[in-house]
Structure 1
Amino acid sequence: MKFETKYLIRWGIPGWIMIFWVFYQVLFLKGINPLDSKFSDIKNGLTLLISLTALGVPIGYLLHQVYFGVVWVLNKNRHEAVKRNARKVGQNFPRHPQWGNNGDQDYFQFEYVWHSVLLNLDAEKRTYIEGRYRHLLSTIHGLGSLFVSSAISLIVTALIIFTHSSDAPFNSYFWTGFVFQLAIFLSAVCNYGYFSNNLTAFQIKILKTYL
């Protein structure tokens, strides 16, 4: 897969999912049948589809930036996780002189040690470990963006529920969509935790083996 295609899919999927759920809930809430609307016309429908497809990519990119900023950059718990992981590696882990005083610098040190170990391996081992690490990290970031996308779509759905007029009750399609939204959100959260723990355990075991 080409670099551009890989990131297009990573950023596009969260944006497309959020757009889909917002349109889904609004359509069924308002009782709009897409087949009876002007969008049932092939030309208008195709134009709308292309527009939403193109719009989903920048929206997904912004969702990815929100996820990365909140979960990776601003999350102070990650600083404690780095120190905890270093302790699990053991005394062979090379700490910088100011270790423990700056969480960001500790994280940078951990990443430096990790890549230094990879550079010292023979080509065959390095290729395998890099591939495995890249796969886990890419999966984590993809799930993180999906988590943010699902969370925002759930917030929009909650706003629709709380601001909806009691004179027009919700139909079963609306609640079915809400259940699926919630299921996707919970799955993204659980899978994110699983793959994050998997990556952490993988790095620790490799560092303990080769340091």
Structure 2
Amino acid sequence: MRFDSKYLIRWGIPGWTIIFGFGLYFCLTYDFEQNLLNGSIQNSTDLLAIMFSLIVVSVPVGYLLHQAYFIFDFYDKRKKRKVIDEILNHYKDFEVPYNWDDLTLNEKYFFIEYEWHTSLLKMEDEQRNYIAGRYRYLLTTKHSLGVLRFSLGTVIFIIFAYQLLYLQFQHIWGCIIYLVLLLLFFVFSWFNFKYYSKNLNTIQGKFMQYIKKREQEKILKEIK
């Protein structure tokens, strides 16, 4: 079975975030350096073996994080409603189906996706390839940032909950600084996710409007 290297990066990054996020916390709270000096980890070969194992394990972990992220994303009605509104805000000539008000939020979203793919089929190859490539890039980046944010949020939540439940105050200041750093990365990924999401919805809506307008102009020319 052929394994594309892009999946190694796509699934590896959130997996590495989770594993090394907890790994650094472990180093801060369980005297990892002292264990290393005392010989609990015998030599550099053991250390390399541990690191290699973690790198390998991070890929399936990242895959599972992707699935969890998409489950939450799919059932987030507020987010889906926002996506639909942002697209239709730019797609002025959207032909509302007669049963639009009877459709569920997911059905409305799927209908707009159908409209989007149908619109692309009406384009010439060169234009379609450019638009599809741009859309693919924005969509992939958006979801990559979404999964990264999900991974960071998971690490922050579990570490914070563990600190509260087990009252681990031995290395409290180191943990606070570490959590603040993780929180900063979480905020950065959150804002980037919002930027790419809005950019994606705007471009999708504007291109659908552009394609629709060109189609209408073509019909008018044929009539004349």
Once superposed, what is the RMSD of the aligned Cα atoms? 2.0
Q: Is the 8 A contact 2:66 2:147 kept in 1?
A: yes
Q: Is the 8 A contact 2:89 2:205 kept in 1?
A: no
Over residues 68-117 of structure 1, what are the superposed CA-to-partner deviations in whole Å (9 max), with x where a residue is unaligned? 1112x101124423542335412x32333421321111111111111111
Q: Is the 8 A contact 2:90 2:202 kept in 1?
A: no
Q: Is the 8 A contact 1:96 1:109 kept in 2?
A: no
Report 1:36-185 matches (<5 A).
Answer: 36=37, 37-39=39-41, 41-71=43-73, 73-84=74-85, 85-90=87-92, 92-100=93-101, 101-162=103-164, 163-166=166-169, 168-172=170-174, 174-185=175-186
Tell me which moved more, 186-195 or 101-110: 101-110
Q: State the TM-score, normalizing by the size of structure 2.
A: 0.84
Distance change in 2, residues 1:40/1:125 (3 Å): farther
Structure 2: distance between partners of 1:118 and 1:209 = 11
Q: Which residue of 2 aligns with 1:15?
A: 15
The residue matched to 2:4 in structure 1 has which SS? helix
Q: Which residue of 2 aligns with 1:31?
A: 31
Distance change in 2, residues 1:40/1:123 (3 Å): farther
Q: Is the 8 A contact 1:140 1:192 kept in 2?
A: yes
Deviation at 1:39, TM superposition (A): 3.5
Q: Which residue of 1 aligns with 2:220?
A: none
Structure 2: distance between partners of 1:79 and 1:16 = 29
Over residues 46-72 of structure 1, what are the superposed CA-to-partner deviations in whole Å (9 max), with x where a residue is unaligned? 22112111111111111111111112x
Distance change in 2, residues 1:40/1:141 (3 Å): farther
Q: Is the 8 A contact 1:94 1:113 kept in 2?
A: no
Q: Which runs of 5+ in 1 are unaligned?
A: none
How much identity, in percent, do the aligned residues show?
32
Tell me which moved more, 140-149 or 81-90: 81-90
User: Which letter does structure 2 place at the counterpart of 1:189?
Assistant: W
Query: How many residue pairs end up in the alignment?
Result: 206
Q: Which runs of 5+ in 2 are unaligned?
A: 213-224
Structure 2: distance between partners of 1:16 and 1:189 = 18
Structure 1: distance between partners of 2:80 and 2:205 = 16
Deviation at 1:35, TM superposition (A): 4.3
Deviation at 1:186, TM superposition (A): 0.6
Deviation at 1:177, TM superposition (A): 2.3
User: Which letter does structure 1 place at the counterpart of 2:199?
Assistant: N
The residue matched to 1:39 in structure 2 has which SS? coil
